[in-house]
Amino acid sequence: MDTDALIAHSRARFDHAVARRLLKEKYQARMLFAYRGGMWRAGPELQTTLLTCPDATAVILDLYENPVQVDTKELYAQSQQRWQEQMNAWLVEHEANNQRR
Amino acid sequence: MTRGALVFAFNNEQTDYVAMARWSAGRIRRHLDIPVAIVTNTDPGDPRVSGFDQVITSNAASGGTRWFEDYQSTVTWHNAGRVDAYNLSPWDHTLVLDADYVVCSDALNRLWDIDTDFLCHRKAWDIKTGQALDGLNTFGQTKMPMWWATVMCFKKTNVSQYIFDAMTMVRENWQHYRNLYQIDRATYRNDFALSIALGIVSGHTNLVDEIPWDLASVLPGTKLEQLDHDYFAIEHTSDNIRRTLGMSGTDFHAMGKSHLEKIIAAC
């Protein structure tokens, strides 16, 4: 890219509203993970469901509404780890976007 | 179980889809670490197809002509061969990608772990506005739900075969299905054929497993530039203000072929 194009880019206004949506889409996709043949979305909803299960194992529905027998503590730990990793990365990008004019 | 990507590339008067597929194949390998096969009418000995793991020769099947806004011209659309993906794919588990789908992340690798036979996108959204492409997420005058054939992930199972067989039936009886679904455009379109096929195979319940995120799209009227390997910028004007947006690590469908061609030519 030549200098003129770079200058033109720097003068254009950064679209913050759309950038937020873009980040949301990007990180929603990154919350997905496979476990015991099911597909799960890491986040509070899954983790709250797992916390309501008193036993070590439970059968719950995955994203595709297939029943899967899970180890509740194991799945909770995986979900929590992925959720926090991705939320942290999301925050870093969000703050970098906020610095743009 | 073998897995890989399949990219269809048939050049027309305006667009060098083979070059686009070659550029795309490099990105697919880098991010997804899977082999890439090209389906094309280009001679397998041609150096332009030397970068693929497999070259599958097929005749260019035209679905008609289509007006491309970014070229400001009508071009032949060699899109009708996509229904052969099931028979042509050398893999047990296949990711069919449009040549103009830009892979910038490993997001598609999650699809291999989903316990289902066939997956595609149900909804697309416009990166420029952040809004759903409402006009393009349905088809026909009755606004039937549309599934996108831009990204299809399938296993070689009976269900997948039924879907591709139904797509073939729609293609071969296009005029009938046009009338039935009240589709204005005469040109055959894979997205419509796929949507009709999924309707048939699901028993018209439209209960279809879909890719669990929406298809990010850059429309033909939006300027697209590549600033780094995986960092792209779009630029557009609204309310007399020139606006830019940078995106990194997000896969997207570059619907404006001319912008993508310029990016590829500059590489």
Domain residue extents for chain A? 15-98
**Sequence letter at residue B168:** T
pLDDT digits (tens, 9 = 90+) for B91-123: 999 999 999 999 999 999 999 999 999 999 999
3-state secondary structure (DSSP) of residue A90: helix
Q: How, if at all, do strands B3-9 and B223-228 pair?
A: unpaired
CA distance B233 to A83: 27
Look at A22 and B225 and tell me if their CB atoms are within 8 Å: no
Residue B256 lies in a domain: no
pLDDT digits (tens, 9 = 90+) for B56-85: 998 877 666 665 566 566 666 666 678 999
Q: Which residue has the higher pLDDT, B244 or B203?
A: B203
pLDDT digits (tens, 9 = 90+) for A1-19: 567 666 666 666 777 888 8
CA distance B213 to B197: 21
Residue B239 lies in a domain: no
3-state secondary structure (DSSP) of residue A49: helix
Residue B115 lies in a domain: yes
Residue B111's domain is classified under what CATH number?
A: 3.90.550
A59 touches chain B (CB under 8 A): no
Average pLDDT over residues A72-83: 98
Total structural domains in chain B? 1
Q: Tell me if A72 sits within 8 A of A55, measured CB to CB.
A: yes
| pLDDT band, very low/low/confident/very high, at B199 (cuts 50, 70, 90) | very high
**Sequence letter at residue B39:** V
Average pLDDT over residues B218-224: 90
A24 touches chain B (CB under 8 A): no
> At what angle are helices B190-201 and B174-181 packed, to 10 degrees?
80
- Which chain B positions have a beta carbon within 8 Å of A5's beta carbon? 225
Look at B113 and A34 and tell me if their CB atoms are within 8 Å: yes
CA distance B7 to B28: 10
The Cβ of residue B88 has, within 10 Å, a number of other Cβ atoms equal to 19
Residue B225 lies in a domain: no
Diameter over CA atoms, chain A: 64
Look at A37 and B115 and tell me if their CB atoms are within 8 Å: yes
Round the average pLDDT of chain B to a whole number and report it: 90
Domain hosting B211: range is 3-219
Nearest to A14 among B227, B244, B249 (CB): B244
Q: Which two tokens stand for residue B53?
A: 């793991």
B128 touches chain A (CB under 8 A): yes
